[in-house]
Structure 1
């Protein structure tokens, strides 16, 4: 990470080269430049020359702002997959997402074959009230086709001011022709915590993301389930499957909610003085109730901090499959009116000192979901995706050179709870039908064979 003085110099050089390429040359050759920085000045000189050639000779007149933004993005994406430049709009969108409130339709979506696919409409939102269904394909927005847009671009078009309408063209399985649905945008509140009682004795809590409301909603969930189940309560399942993470402070706060003492996470930057340790404060919101944490290949970052902390302190039994393996911390550095820089500034470590980077959290009890045939075929071809599969990922410094990095696993979760093997295994553990020790011994025996 650049010191402030170096960053200011870099910004000055970029501004100078936009105004006049020759200014950059004279700055780069200034006699005040130290020998240690001579190489970086030489490279900036090269950058200035290339920029001026593009501005002067490209077949069409380029936009200076776009050139510089692309150059910055190129520099950051060359570092690792998680560092990036956020232009002012993307920075605002990120801030909106972490607050959990925005003007939109209220649908979780993905991209499939060039069109937007509805994963699920969020309860009591414009999308749900308009009758959108899981599996619907959105092909046009206000009669303009989606084909050619990225998922982010399509999502940006669907968001907008409250009370403003948008026309969606829908293709639905079982309906012969495409049809149009008018949806009026409203304020969408993303609840990161969903919960219910499983039977009359287990509290099930699913944390979908770590935004500014996560800990507050977690406390509410525990209080409500405790009142509902009373003395029958045998424990809680904390489902972190397919939770991609987000805010570090919320991961620390959620972990603290279940711990009375000890460290939660250690973050270590390039310099020793950048090392920070977060510790738990006294107070367990469950009063020591048993906890099972569910993870899979879609559990990343903040999810891994929580799973790792509770696992190391033996506060919870972790069940499922190996997590994604994103063990790095990104710092958002605002750049005034020019957006922000998302920069990887540290690695994080679990309380016992484990680095999860490109490794992931391994559950105490490995339980894999049975994949449908179509997903089995895809997985056979594509394999599973984890941090270790990402091009340019940070290496795990504890990994021996000959040792292969490996992280991630299947992220499939059945919609039907009766077919959810991981969930049902967790229920059996809490109800005493299955034993953690017996499961561990069985897995060791299977590994030996």
Structure 2
């Protein structure tokens, strides 16, 4: 997601200010909007909204909160555009800012909701929750003595977060433990672990990025430096795992890509107005120092993950292995509405360096490898979502350049297995040897060898229109 904060004026501000009917129609902002829209029925439509709003206020069976009604109307308007445009009230906007900063005051628990309770997915290492003995699968039933039944997950998370040094009591129900467990915890500054890393066989750096927040690039750089120091015989390659990474900040995706690409385009966007389109180019330098890279993707790799995978693939800086990614190739601009949260509006599409649109198609892997022999889980991609933006790729102004060949050692691809064997062990996240895609990535990256000093082939530079 692209963070481009603007001051939003116009009809949405008039709505959220509570203006209806007469005041709405006399607003200079609305009048200007009506004139530029070239629609003769603009005033009729605004009168329709005001009429419906007043009837709801006066005649609905229960009293209606004006702000709730208007916010629901705004959300309906935005959600009718595409799956990713929405209105965020002040609380949701604050939560989004917290998530993108990558740190907050809290307990250090990844949670979901189950049976009306808050279920612990995993405690984050070295946090109050982990030190207190919170375990995956625990059900949080009470917060400070108040039942979470009937409480939304968002409300529960908001109660567990708070200022550093403040205390909270959790009541936990754990399978196999007859009596409830009560834990008194003190909140600390939590920095979710968006980068996980380890050495595979003492010669391959495995780096997993779980999302793209403000900590991602710095965390990845630090992880690679540490793994390089740990590899006594030197690194032979890098595996960058972007599976199930839903994306995040555009600037972090650009920085991560730039870390490995020495020159050329990283990503571009095309907006409704050509003058709003943008392009980002790499700066000189490769933190991997030319080591072979394999990028892992799956249907859960979206948005910023697809920007990284697409950039490295187009420059032939990495080989993408796995299955086709999610296909979210749209830019959401966050526009603050002073005193009323923010508007998240889709304003452009992403394009890879060769000119390919990510939207509704995703990134096709160079080497397709299934995670399991029979994938019984049905997982929607962007193209399956209601009102998803259409795919737009080749135009006379924006031709798509063919990708250079992979140029892998002869016979290497023949060594890659594309489907697990019938007797393959079930995947266990704690046992890397059961991760079939990872094991095939290790075969591939070790077989690629150290590249030559000559630069990798670059996609043609004339593929872009001059206004980008």
Per the shorter chain, which TM-score range? 0.7 to 0.9
- In the alignment, which residue of structure 2 is the partner of 1:153? 155
- 1:60 and 2:62 correspond: yes
Question: Cα gap change, 1:14/1:231 in structure 2, threshold over 3 Å: closer, same or farther?
Answer: same
- In the alignment, which residue of structure 2 is the partner of 1:446? none
Provide the C-alpha distance between the structure 2 equivalents of 1:386 and 1:141, rounded to a whole number of angstroms.
Answer: 36
Question: Cα gap change, 1:413/1:304 in structure 2, threshold over 3 Å: closer, same or farther?
Answer: farther
Give CA deviations for 1:150-199 in whole Å, capped at 9, x if unaligned: 33232222212222222323232332344332322211112322212112
2:166 aligns with one of 164, 167, 172: 164
C-alpha displacement of 1:354: 1.1
2:38 is paired with a residue whose SS is: helix
1:337 is paired with a residue whose SS is: coil
- In the alignment, which residue of structure 2 is the partner of 1:14? 15
- In the alignment, which residue of structure 1 is the partner of 2:391? 396
Question: Cα gap change, 1:119/1:50 in structure 2, threshold over 3 Å: closer, same or farther?
Answer: same
Question: Cα gap change, 1:33/1:433 in structure 2, threshold over 3 Å: closer, same or farther?
Answer: closer
C-alpha displacement of 1:360: 1.4
Provide the C-alpha distance between the structure 1 equivalents of 2:321 and 2:236, rounded to a whole number of angstroms.
Answer: 17
Q: Count matched residues.
A: 409
Provide the C-alpha distance between the structure 2 equivalents of 1:11 and 1:221, rounded to a whole number of angstroms.
Answer: 44
Provide the C-alpha distance between the structure 2 equivalents of 1:211 and 1:24, rounded to a whole number of angstroms.
Answer: 39
Provide the C-alpha distance between the structure 2 equivalents of 1:245 and 1:274, rounded to a whole number of angstroms.
Answer: 22
Q: Please, what is the CA RMSD of the aligned residues? A: 2.7
Q: Give the TM-score taking structure 1 as reference length.
A: 0.84
Question: Cα gap change, 1:107/1:299 in structure 2, threshold over 3 Å: closer, same or farther?
Answer: same
Question: Cα gap change, 1:20/1:335 in structure 2, threshold over 3 Å: closer, same or farther?
Answer: closer
Give CA deviations for 1:319-378 in whole Å, capped at 9, x if unaligned: 112111111111111112221111111110111111111111121112222379xxx66x
Within a 5 Å distance, the mapping from 1:301-340 to structure 2 comes to: 301-340=303-342
Provide the C-alpha distance between the structure 1 equivalents of 2:255 and 2:16, rounded to a whole number of angstroms.
Answer: 42
Of 342-351 and 65-74, the range deviating more from structure 2: 65-74
Contact 1:267 1:275 in 2 (8 A): yes
Determine which structure has greater relative contact order: mean sequence separation of CA pairs < 8 Å that are 6+ residues apart, divided by chain length. 2
Q: Which has a greater percent of helix?
A: 1
Q: Structure 2 stretches of 5 or more lacking a match? A: 1-6, 395-426, 450-468
Give CA deviations for 1:416-441 in whole Å, capped at 9, x if unaligned: 2110111111111122299xxxxxxx
- 1:422 and 2:424 correspond: no
1:43 is paired with a residue whose SS is: helix
Provide the C-alpha distance between the structure 1 equivalents of 2:98 and 2:26, rounded to a whole number of angstroms.
Answer: 43
Provide the C-alpha distance between the structure 2 equivalents of 1:371 and 1:173, rounded to a whole number of angstroms.
Answer: 32
2:252 is paired with a residue whose SS is: helix
1:343 is paired with a residue whose SS is: strand
Question: Cα gap change, 1:418/1:57 in structure 2, threshold over 3 Å: closer, same or farther?
Answer: same
- 1:263 and 2:278 correspond: no
- In the alignment, which residue of structure 2 is the partner of 1:273? 275
Provide the C-alpha distance between the structure 2 equivalents of 1:290 and 1:101, rounded to a whole number of angstroms.
Answer: 32
Question: Cα gap change, 1:234/1:19 in structure 2, threshold over 3 Å: closer, same or farther?
Answer: closer
- In the alignment, which residue of structure 1 is the partner of 2:23? 23
Contact 1:369 1:413 in 2 (8 A): no
- In the alignment, which residue of structure 2 is the partner of 1:286? 288
C-alpha displacement of 1:310: 0.4
Q: Give the TM-score taking structure 2 as reference length.
A: 0.81
Question: Cα gap change, 1:249/1:433 in structure 2, threshold over 3 Å: closer, same or farther?
Answer: closer
Question: Cα gap change, 1:316/1:27 in structure 2, threshold over 3 Å: closer, same or farther?
Answer: closer
Provide the C-alpha distance between the structure 2 equivalents of 1:302 and 1:273, rounded to a whole number of angstroms.
Answer: 23
C-alpha displacement of 1:413: 7.3
2:221 aligns with one of 211, 219, 222: 219
- 1:97 and 2:80 correspond: no
Q: Structure 1 stretches of 5 or more lacking a match? A: 1-5, 400-411, 435-449
2:225 is paired with a residue whose SS is: helix
- In the alignment, which residue of structure 2 is the partner of 1:181? 183
1:387 aligns with one of 345, 365, 382: 382
2:231 is paired with a residue whose SS is: helix
1:174 is paired with a residue whose SS is: coil
